[in-house]
């Protein structure tokens, strides 16, 4: 049908523009963050592009639905403001026909989002964890910069050195913090040396002439000790152990797990394609504006509706992860509220008599 193709085209244009803009903005922001880590010596330059592309792939499961949501709102809003919807209605094509057009388009995007969430997301997180584990395992004193913090979130240690000698793999006047579940160890030393090691051996630091502080997080058993030489071995997360994380586990494995974190991750992956369809349909009634009122008259309501829904979905995911609520209602109650709101806007009693 010509009208259906025309409506699809008017929605697709802003959708493609918005998703491109979002991808550019997200990539620019990710690049800035990763460049800071590169400058601090946390990530090598050759790993930067891989991490940025992986983060963009993960973000597409959010960027595609929100882009379609705003694309429908902008496209139909323009048609409303230019009286095109009124003209189409005069030809006997009502709003439910627009709903069907948007529904078919949203199903296509939902299939792409489902592929990303169910298949690409765990693969991308697995690659990201492997890269970070590899970067952590390859740490050298050469990665340190004088008077700049080096922090490794995977192993929980931070290093600050006043001077760094890359030729001798040593640093002077150093402060090292090593975090554990029950305690924090703080080492202040005159000199730090990293002995040569193989690719499979753990990190090893040799400290000379310093003080070590053992701060107990669970009680008052704090300890202070002085040393002439201290050997510290930091064992990093092995690449194989990243399979224990929920985000990079296969969807089938998550479906068979009763762990709250696994349940939250599994329901999140299932919710994204459903949310894609519901948000696109919600944009149809939200795009209603009076002729010559302006295509962006409802932009505030559109943004607020999405912000409320996304925050409710993220909030419910956190509740499930912490075990505060079970798999039912899990992440389904924000989707149920969205579906109920959509039904009221499309089929409510105040819609009777309107085309």
Its pTM surpasses 0.85: no
322's CB contacts (< 8 A; 6+ apart) are 260
Are 211 and 224 contacting, i.e. CB atoms less than 8 angstroms apart?
A: yes
Domain boundaries, the chain: 2-136+247-348, 156-235
pLDDT digits (tens, 9 = 90+) for 297-349: 567 888 999 999 999 999 999 999 988 988 999 899 999 999 999 998 888 65
| Residues in the chain, overall count | 355
Closest CA to 347 of 99, 107, 103, 110: 99
List the single range of 81-90, 195-204, 220-229 with lowest mean pLDDT.
Answer: 195-204
DSSP helix/strand/coil, 229: strand
Query: What's the rounded Cα separation, in Å, for the pair 202 and 8?
Result: 57
246's CB contacts (< 8 A; 6+ apart) are 254, 259, 261, 262, 264, 265
Are 163 and 152 contacting, i.e. CB atoms less than 8 angstroms apart?
A: no
Give percent above pLDDT 90 in the chain: 35
DSSP character at residue 201? S
pLDDT digits (tens, 9 = 90+) for 159-191: 888 888 877 778 888 888 876 656 788 889 998
Apex CA 126: angle with CA 121 and CA 151, to 5°? Answer: 115
Query: What's the rounded Cα separation, in Å, for the pair 35 and 49?
Result: 10
- DSSP secondary structure letters along 92-133: T--HHHHHHHHHHHHHHHHHHHHHIIIIIHHHHHHHHHHHHH
Closest CA to 248 of 230, 260, 261: 261
Query: What's the rounded Cα separation, in Å, for the pair 112 and 120?
Result: 10
Query: What's the rounded Cα separation, in Å, for the pair 57 and 210?
Result: 46
Query: What's the rounded Cα separation, in Å, for the pair 26 and 67?
Result: 13
State yes or no: pLDDT of 90 exceeds 80.
no
Are 187 and 176 contacting, i.e. CB atoms less than 8 angstroms apart?
A: yes
Query: What's the rounded Cα separation, in Å, for the pair 246 and 240?
Result: 14
Residue 36: pLDDT band by 50, 70, 90 thresholds? Answer: confident
Query: What's the rounded Cα separation, in Å, for the pair 208 and 221?
Result: 25
Q: What is the mean pLDDT of the chain?
A: 82
Report the pLDDT averaged over residues 270-291: 89
Task: Read off the tokens for 333.
Answer: 């109650």
Residue 86: pLDDT band by 50, 70, 90 thresholds? Answer: confident
Query: What's the rounded Cα separation, in Å, for the pair 134 and 50?
Result: 13
Query: What's the rounded Cα separation, in Å, for the pair 108 and 94?
Result: 23
State yes or no: pLDDT of 85 exceeds 60.
yes
337's CB contacts (< 8 A; 6+ apart) are 309, 312
């Amino acid at each position: 049908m010509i009208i259906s193709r025309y409506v699809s085209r008017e929605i697709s244009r802003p959708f493609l523009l918005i998703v491109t803009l979002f991808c550019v903005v997200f990539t620019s922001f990710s690049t800035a963050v990763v460049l800071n880590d590169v400058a601090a010596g946390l990530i090598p330059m050759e790993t930067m592009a891989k991490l940025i592309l992986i983060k963009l792939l993960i973000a597409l499961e959010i960027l595609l639905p929100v882009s379609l949501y705003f694309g429908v709102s902008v496209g139909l809003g323009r048609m409303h403001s230019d009286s095109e919807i009124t003209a189409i209605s005069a030809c006997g094509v009502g709003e439910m026909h627009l709903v069907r057009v948007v529904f078919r388009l949203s199903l296509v995007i939902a299939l792409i989002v489902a592929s990303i969430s169910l298949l690409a997301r765990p693969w991308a997180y697995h690659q990201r964890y492997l890269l970070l584990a590899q970067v952590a395992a390859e740490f050298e004193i050469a990665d340190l910069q004088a008077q700049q913090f080096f922090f490794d979130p995977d192993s929980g240690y931070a290093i600050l050195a006043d001077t760094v000698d890359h030729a001798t793999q040593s640093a002077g006047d150093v402060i090292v913090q090593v975090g554990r579940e029950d305690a924090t160890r703080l080492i202040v030393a005159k000199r730090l040396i990293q002995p040569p090691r193989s690719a499979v051996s753990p990190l090893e630091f040799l400290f000379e002439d310093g003080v070590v502080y053992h701060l107990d997080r669970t009680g008052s058993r704090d300890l202070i000790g002085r040393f002439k030489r201290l050997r510290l071995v930091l064992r990093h997360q092995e690449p194989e152990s990243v399979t224990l994380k929920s985000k990079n586990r296969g969807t089938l494995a998550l479906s068979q797990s009763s762990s709250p974190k696994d349940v939250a991750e599994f329901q999140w992956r299932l919710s994204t394609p459903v949310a894609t369809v519901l948000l696109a349909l919600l944009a149809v009634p939200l795009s209603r504006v009076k002729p010559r009122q302006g295509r962006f008259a409802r932009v505030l309501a559109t943004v607020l509706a999405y912000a409320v829904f996304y925050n409710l979905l993220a909030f419910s995911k956190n509740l499930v992860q912490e075990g505060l609520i079970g798999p039912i209602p899990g992440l389904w109650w924000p989707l149920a509220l969205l579906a109920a709101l959509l039904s009221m806007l499309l089929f409510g009693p105040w819609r009777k008599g309107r085309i």
